[in-house]
Amino acid sequence: MSSLKWDGYVHSIFDRTVNLQCRTNDELYTIANRQMDNAPNTLITDMGSFSDRGLVVGDRVYAEHDRLYVGKALVLTLRDVRVWRSKLPSYADDEGVLRSNAAAAASFIEIHGKAGGMKRSAETVNSIDQEMERLLRERSTGLLEALSKGEVSFATHYAIQLIGLGPGLTPSGDDFLVGLFTVMNLTDGPLFQIRHVCEQVVAAAADRSNPISYMALKKAASGQARESIGGFMHHMIHGSKTEVISGLSRVLDIGSTSGTDIALGLVNGLKLSIERNGR
């Protein structure tokens, strides 16, 4: 984003973030406040709220002389910006630690995760919500079973059927895939050799989900994850249970149900990896 040739416009405005559409590569970029963690295509600032700064969707955004101009309401200095890059750990050398941590994480999600997306709600009475939960469960189960058997075409089919499914700005099915795609990109992992499934799914995703969710899927498909997710994965593979729960808590805090949906994708992906390696 620090390139002086950057040019685009304001795509969407939220309290803690502003999303920018780049005209050059058609990707979304995000300006965020300090409550957010580092992530692909994201610039963290010391700003408070963005929703009351007079920004308007469609405002031009451009860089010039080490400054980023966001409409007429916001100017950011880029001179001292530090580049952050996503880095995932390699797959576990000791699956005993990973197996134990995966069990602890699954139990924590069951107790503390937010229901209503991938996690089933015990209080759902609305027939539409019940059907949504059924579809999420059916398609995610089909996806995991297909990956377990190495049936790439079936896995791709089920994954595409998850896109855009569920509540939230980033739908639950998309968030689950973000977590699963992250695991599939762990170097030396049992799913690494079939990670091309991720790219195939993303190719079909643009017309099935919104631009914000699509960008998260696109980045996860190439192993680019936000800092809290990368930290959690590191703890799952190398850390203690205390570190795992601490890292998991940060992931669960993402969005409304998004954190839980992502975490379930991560944990189920790791469990599947352990299962495939045991054959």
pLDDT tens digit sequence for 108-144: 999 999 998 999 887 766 888 889 999 999 999 999 9
pLDDT of residue 167: 85
Q: Are residues 238 and 273 in the same domain?
A: yes
Q: Are residues 27 and 115 in the same domain?
A: no
5 pLDDT above the threshold of 80: no
Q: Are residues 161 and 244 in the same domain?
A: yes
Least confident of 90-94, 126-130, 226-230, 254-258: 126-130
Q: Are residues 113 and 224 in the same domain?
A: yes
Q: Are residues 107 and 68 in the same domain?
A: no
2 pLDDT above the threshold of 60: no
**Residue 33 counted as domain residue:** yes
Question: Under a CB-based contact definition with an 8 Å cutoff, are residues 198 and 221 in contact?
Answer: yes
Secondary structure of 109-142 in HEC code, one letter for each residue: HHHHCCCCCCCCCCCCCCHHHHHHHHHHHHHHHH
Average pLDDT over residues 197-208: 93
Give the model confidence (pLDDT) of 14-52 as tens digits. 999 999 999 999 999 999 999 999 999 999 999 889 999
**Residue 223 counted as domain residue:** yes
Q: Are residues 191 and 246 in the same domain?
A: yes
146 pLDDT above the threshold of 50: yes
pLDDT of residue 1: 47
**Residue 135 counted as domain residue:** yes
Average pLDDT over residues 64-93: 92
Average pLDDT, the chain: 93
Domain that holds residue 261: 95-277
**Torsion angle of C-alpha atoms 125, 177, 12, 17, degrees rounded to 10:** 100
Q: Are residues 117 and 240 in the same domain?
A: yes
Q: Are residues 241 and 120 in the same domain?
A: yes
Tokens of 185: 């990109």
Q: Are residues 222 and 145 in the same domain?
A: yes
63 pLDDT above the threshold of 60: yes
202 pLDDT above the threshold of 70: yes
Average pLDDT over residues 240-264: 97
pLDDT of residue 126: 83
Average pLDDT over residues 152-180: 95
Q: Is the pTM above the cut of 0.85?
A: yes
Average pLDDT over residues 208-220: 95
Q: Are residues 152 and 197 in the same domain?
A: yes
Q: Domain total for the chain?
A: 2
Q: Of all helices (H) and strands (E), which one includes residue 62?
A: strand 60-64
Q: Of all helices (H) and strands (E), which one includes residue 9?
A: strand 7-13
pLDDT of residue 124: 63
**Residue 83 counted as domain residue:** no
Confidence of residue 80 (pLDDT cuts 50, 70, 90): confident
**Residue 147 counted as domain residue:** yes
**Residue 85 counted as domain residue:** no
Q: Are residues 145 and 265 in the same domain?
A: yes
Average pLDDT over residues 163-183: 95
Can you tell me whether residue 24 is helix, strand or coil?
Answer: coil
**CB-neighbour burial class of residue 82 (10 A; exposed 0-12, middle 13-18, buried 19+):** exposed
Q: Are residues 117 and 213 in the same domain?
A: yes
